[in-house]
Structures are given as structure tokens and as C-alpha cells.
Amino acid sequence: MEGMGSACRPDATAHEPGVGGLTLNAYNIMRRPRLVARRQAEKVSASLSSSPTRAALSVVILISGRGSNMEAIVRAVQAGRIPNVSVRHVISNVADAPGMETARQHGIECSAVSDMGELAAKLRQLKPDIVCMAGFMRIVPPEIVREHTVLNIHPSLLPMYPGLHAQRQALEDDAKWSGCTVHYADEGVDTGPIIVQYAVPVKPGDTEEALSGRILEKEHVAYPHAVMLVAGRIARERAQVTGSGGGGGGGGGGASTGQR
Ligand code: GRF
């Protein structure tokens, strides 16, 4: 989603106390990343495993190209690391996106769409519980984010460096840290409540390619983590609605929020 213009929000960090130019959320994740992530993962995984929801929660992934984040989510689901979740479909706005072939190799059904109207119709038909934009280079229309729970991944510690070439922006800014963010998509570009952030150092002499590669490694951890947190939230909310308990998973994620 990043890339189609940039809604820079220079005041956004003002809402949270910052540490060394980073949001408090990013700072905490850097200080205790493994402990925080492991505790959340244990809680949410337990909640999903004990979920009374019979059918697995369905995930549809939107891609435009390589699809490595899509594959990271698929692998995590297939390895049982995101219990009670199923990747049902991959949709690309680029008919020959390499990620489509990767998805097929994993046994996932794929479709290409030629415009956002077709995408909206396809999603209405599929009725996914979660839609993941993973390198999807189109702005999705407002009705899609209103009708579905839509997540996006961006290669920076938002709200820093939204929009195109986030890694280049970090280098040009002489940032000491960058990373990736998975967030709920709203009607803006790279805005919306943050679910998880993973930080990486920017090293002296880094090229855009080197920094992108270091961030991408974290993206492949961050996206499955975020899907697990959001699936856990949905499972707990449904359990509360049906009054059936739903396991004691706390979870919540870095800034996991109860949006939509
Ligand atoms: C990733 O860096 C992601 O953050 C950005 O686009 C890239 C997509 O990579 N939105 P891939 O297609 O998932 O390999």
C-alpha cells in the first residue's frame, strides 16, 4: 500500500513519549523484543487453540509482486504457528506477479483482479475474517477497509517514513534505527492503528538494498506475529458474543487495538 502518495504526520509521535526519536512502542520492543513477543505469542496461541470457533478464521492476502511476506504468513500457518487460521486465497492486481506462482505451489487458490471494484466484489464473495496487504501496491478503496479487517505492512517504524521508498527516506534522514510496522489499514496511506513493530539498526555505510534486506527479515516475523494477534482478538470477541468464554488469552500486541 505504501507508495501511492504519502500522508506524512509530523505530529504523530507527539502523542507518545519518545525515546531517542522513537515512539515508546518501538523503544519497548527494542529493549525487550524476545520476551515481549514470546509472552504475547504464548497467550494468543493458547487462546486460539482453545477457541470455541469451529471454523478456522479465513485470511485473504493481497499482493502485487514477489510475495515473500505472503509466503511467510502461509508458512507460519502451515507450520501450525498460527492456530485456527487458514489462508484461503491470494489476490493480485498484477496477473503475472511471481507471488501468485509461489502461492499456488503452497496449494493456495489465486485470483488476479484488474481494478479495485473487482477486488471489492471478490472480497465480498470470499468474506474473509482478515485481509492482509503484503506488498500490495494499490490504495484500497474506503469501502474495503470499512467492510473488512484489513492489515498492511510497511518497511519503517511508522509514523516515520510513510509512503514510497521508506528505506531510502531512513537513510537520507541519517536514522539510527528503522524497521517494519504491521498496522490496521484505514482510509489513509500507511496510517491506522499499529499492531506490531520490529526495529533494526541502520548500519554505517548501509545501502538501500542492505537496509531493505535487514528489514525484510523482520517483516517475515512481524506479519505472522500480527496475524496471530489479530486472529486471537477476533476469536476472543466472537467467544464473548456467544458467551462461551474463549480462553484466557491476553495478548494484544505492541499496540494491538480493538479496531473493527
Ligand atoms: C515489503 O518490503 C513490504 O513492506 C512493502 O513491500 C515489500 C513487499 O515485499 N509493502 P514482498 O512482495 O512481500 O516480498
User: Of residues 154, 183, 220, 225, which has the active-site annotation?
Assistant: 154
Ligand 1 pocket: which of 4, 66, 69 to mutate (most atoms within 8 A of CB)? 69
> Between 31 and 19, where is the model more confident?
31
- Residue 218 CB less than 6 A away from ligand 1: no
List the beta bridge partners of residue 87: 59
Assign domain 17-34+56-240 one CATH number from 3.20.20.70, 3.40.50.720, 3.30.70.2200, 3.40.50.170: 3.40.50.170
What Å distances lie between residue 210 and 87, 193, 202, 214, CA to CA? 30, 28, 9, 6
Return the percentage of the chain with pLDDT > 90, whole number.
70
Give tens-digit pLDDT for 154-197: 999 999 999 999 999 999 999 999 999 999 999 999 999 999 99
Cβ–Cβ under 8 Å, residues 224 and 153 = no
- Residue 134 CB less than 6 A away from ligand 1: yes
- Residue 10 has which C-alpha cell? 509530523
- Residue 153 CB less than 6 A away from ligand 1: yes
- Residue 135 CB less than 6 A away from ligand 1: yes
Residue 253 zone, left/alpha/beta (φ > 0; ψ -120 to 50; rest) = left
- Residue 171 has which C-alpha cell? 537513510
- Residue 151 CB less than 6 A away from ligand 1: no
List the beta bridge partners of residue 179: 199
Q: Output the residue whose Cα is nearest ligand 1's atom 14.
A: 68
Average pLDDT score, the chain: 83
* Calpha distance 178→171 (Å, rounded): 9
Query: Could you give the 3-state DSSP secondary structure of residue 91?
Result: strand
Q: Output the residue whose Cα is nearest ligand 1's atom 12.
A: 67
Query: For residue 240, what pLDDT band results from cuts at 50, 70 and 90?
Result: confident
Res 16: pLDDT: 33
Res 101: pLDDT: 98
Is the pLDDT reported for residue 260 higher than 50? no
Q: Which atom of ligand 1 lies at the shortest distance from residue 219's CA?
A: 4
User: DSSP letter at 56?
Assistant: P
Res 41: pLDDT: 61
Give tens-digit pLDDT for 196-214: 999 999 999 999 999 999 9
- Residue 2 CB less than 6 A away from ligand 1: yes
Cβ–Cβ under 8 Å, residues 44 and 227 = no
* Calpha distance 253→239 (Å, rounded): 19
Res 64: pLDDT: 98
Question: Which residue in 167, 175, 166 sits closest to 208, CA to CA?
Answer: 167
- Burial annotation 181-220 (CB, 10 A radius, 16+ → b, else e): bbbbbbeebbbbebbbbbbbebeeebeeeebbebbbebbb
CA of 231 to the centre of ligand 1 (A): 21
Q: What pTM was computed for the model?
A: 0.79
- Residue 51 has which C-alpha cell? 477457541
Q: Output the residue whose Cα is nearest ligand 1's atom 9.
A: 135
Q: Output the residue whose Cα is nearest ligand 1's atom 3.
A: 135
One-letter amino acid at 237 equals: E
**How many CB atoms lie under 10 A from the CB of residue 33?**
16
Q: Which atom of ligand 1 lies at the shortest distance from residue 212's CA?
A: 2
CA of 135 to the centre of ligand 1 (A): 4
Is the pLDDT reported for residue 111 higher than 60? yes
What is the enclosing helix (H) or strand (E) of 57? strand 57-63
Residue 11 zone, left/alpha/beta (φ > 0; ψ -120 to 50; rest) = alpha
Q: Is 89 a catalytic residue?
A: no
Give tens-digit pLDDT for 28-74: 445 555 655 566 666 656 656 655 545 799 999 999 999 999 999 99
Res 154: pLDDT: 98
Is the pLDDT reported for residue 243 higher than 70? yes
